[in-house]
Chains A and B, each alone.
Chain A
Amino acid sequence: MATKVVMEALSPTMEEGRLVKWLKNEGDKISSGETLAEVETDKAVMELVARGDGVLRKRLLAEGETAPIGQLVAVIAAPDENIDALVAGGGAAPPAKEAKPAEEVVAKTRETAAASPVPRAPEQAQGEASTPPQQKVPAYRVGSAAPKAPTPPSPEPQTEQPRQGGNGEGRMRSSPLARRLAHERGLNLDGVRGSGPGGRIVKRDIEAAVAGGGAQPRAAAPAAPARAREGDFADVPLTQMRKTIARRLAESIGPVPTFYLTAELDMERVVEMRTAMAEMGDEFKVSVNDIVMKAVATALSLHPEVNAHWLGDRIRQFNRVHLGMAVAVEDGLITPVVFDADRKRMSEISREARELAKRARERRLKPEEYMGATFSVSNLGMFGIEHFTAIINPPEAGILAIGAVERKPVDVNGDLVTRQRMRVTMSCDHRVIDGATGARFLQTLRRMLENPLMLVY
């Protein structure tokens, strides 16, 4: 039995994929689950995995070429199996091609019934009726149980066999309700198995997936931290005042009414601490950014009102801190996430941040690694940027822009001295965060960074 290898949706927003590299050659023996190729999506380079056993008989897409989701890119089959038909019909997008004959059948049936003035046997005419037809099953109905039609007073023999349509591949079928429910519950339909006619995903499949956690996000990986669970957050209903603030401010400044809070922090002790740690040995080396991330995460855990999402009809305050960090990549930027950053040791944050940044630049992040942040930071200090404002990544309510640490003259108790200083600017979604709320968060952050021993408390 041949297995078609099609371009799969490897990220939620992917529409087409570029085949970066084949990892298997024609003639290679393949087992289900093996990686066949690397595919670049709109966000990352992902693995295209075999869904069946056999031999990789034919590769239909060259390295560097792009194919839309659903297009046949290879065929896995037994060594002696005839795959000519598969290969020949492969290139075009399949669903449109197969839907047509089905429509024609229905249309023809309609004509016959409508044009006929003489009494017709019910089953003959049923093609036009919405009660399911008994023998003429259009392709889109294959898989549905053709119900027993009432015993019809029919003089005409049954002639046509049920049509077999290639419903196996092509677009995924799902009921409108199933799509709505999946959307509401943040479920990716790709991982849900459809139990309706023709594999249609219906309500009960969504319920089963939600109940059993059966709906895998694309690449089965440690996605768990990203997914918000009961107890991880508290939904705060909107008060009238909050609603009014949200509406008025959004009207005033665009979809996300943002304001900015800038603070200059004394980083003398952070720099001291970092130097002291580095002197203890290479394994204790952390960057200023690591320390700032640790401090931001700890401060966020104390300020759930800032560690929050705007959900349109409510504000979601998180009890866990998943810290997004903007990483510049060759032609853009992406924000990988350090999950539970407040509970991680500085060394863990440091290692993870480095690893995530590296893979981001290689475009090898998995979707679950860049989704699910509760708050984000963006650091341009290494470019010598003293101060900037970052743009909020909705539905997050805030992002902290971190500038360079620079030695500057400051007044300390009347003496003009130079100190290590750093400016941070928090962009706040005013629908969620008010000026004073943001200021209190920055106050906490200041205390932590100016007294980094608090981080070990």
Chain B
Amino acid sequence: MPVITYRDALNQALREEMQRDDRVFLMGEEVGVYQGAYKVSKGMLQEFGEMRIVDTPITELGFAGVGVGAAMVGLRPIIEFMTWNFALLAIDQVVNAAAKMLYMSGGQYPMAMVFRGPNGAALQLSAQHSQAWESWLSHIPGLKVVAPGTPYDAKGLLKSAVRDDNPVIVLEGEMLYNTKGDVPENEEVIVPIGKAEVKREGSDVSLITYGKMVLVAQQAAEQLAKENVSAEIVDLRTLRPMDVDAIAASVAKTNRAVVIEEGWSVAGVGAQIADFVQRECFDDLDAPVLRVHQEEVPMPYAKNLERAAKPDAKKTVAAAKRVLYLE
């Protein structure tokens, strides 16, 4: 099976869906001539031409709104944000237009569109450009939110997102674009929205996570294995709608849960998961649910402070040991 990068997996997904359906087009800053700020759309201007690979000015609110309008007349736009930090300017179109259109028009206007781009911190991009927005976006009825952590899931979820008739948020990661993984070549890769996957089987503690933090969970699980702790990794893959059955099944097995999320803790995605676990898995719990997350500070620029503020394997291992009463 070919091993390709997360970046190429997204590229494959975009091309395949644009080849399959000529209503699909890509729009955003630097997606065309520059071949994508992170080269996700490499070669696509050449393949699909200027009508379907549309370079925009630096006007997030404007081109997100153009995307909403295009979706309303039956096209299936994919809006690329150079990062979700910039998408704050477009949040009104995402939340008030895209997420509400089907509802407020009684289904008269279609709204099959995708908003995608890298989310969360990279390296030393400082306070304004290192933020994880998944709890904001997952908060909104009318949106679906996916956060793939592997090349396979990136391809499969982006394709599902393009085919979905609702607005779908795809949260990628700058630090993920170069990661590699198996993606089969001659078969259709589709990952259903709303379906978690157990990335690693284990019996002692459930590490519940998604997106970039799947890598952190994997490192933590490796370290825990050296100390004879068998950690199970539940990769949610979709944050809204969330596959709570997968969470319950894992917690029933391990009796302990640690949630790892990239963003801050207050009103974070992990709070939602902890709420579900305490309510629906109460009798299975041998310890409180613990959360690993970014420290409650704007992301520091200094390398050492940035490292200290991010959720990482060390913090995850410590939390896992606490719920196992090993410390």
A residues with CB within 8 A of B:
113-114, 119-122, 125-126, 128-132, 144-145, 147-148, 150-153, 175-180, 195-197, 202-204
Contact = CB atoms under 8 A, between A and B. Distances in A.
A177 B291 contact: no
B73 to A, nearest CB: 43
A152 B308 contact: yes
Contact of A131 (B282, B293, B300): B293
Give 5 nearest A-B pairs by CB, closest first. A125-B296, A122-B295, A177-B286, A129-B265, A145-B327
Interface string B302-326: 1011001100001100110010010
Contacts, number: 91
Classify chain B's interface size.
Answer: 20 to 34
25 contacts: A119-B297, A121-B297, A122-B295, A122-B297, A125-B297, A128-B265, A128-B296, A129-B295, A130-B265, A130-B291, A131-B291, A131-B315, A144-B322, A147-B319, A147-B327, A150-B309, A153-B300, A153-B305, A176-B283, A179-B283, A196-B325, A197-B325, A202-B286, A202-B325, A203-B286
Nearest to A150: B308
A328 B327 CA distance: 54
A177 B265 contact: no
Contacts of A147: 318-319, 322, 327
Nearest to B299: A119
Interface string B216-229: 00000000000000
B266 interface: yes
A84 B319 CA distance: 41
A130 B290 contact: yes
Given A131-B319, A144-B322, A151-B308, A122 B296 contact: yes
Nearest to A116: B296
Interface in B246-270: 255, 265-266, 270
Between B282, B304, B314, B322, the greatest number of chain A beta carbons within 10 A of the residue's beta carbon is seen for: B322
B99 interface: no
Question: DSSP class of A's interface residues: helix, strand, loop or mixed?
Answer: loop
Nearest to A124: B296
Contacts of B298: 119
B305 A113 contact: no
A213 B132 CA distance: 51
A121 B305 CA distance: 11
B274 interface: yes
A180 B314 CA distance: 32
Contacts of A122: 295-297, 308-309
Nearest to B285: A176
Given A120-B297, A125-B295, A125-B297, A150 B315 contact: yes
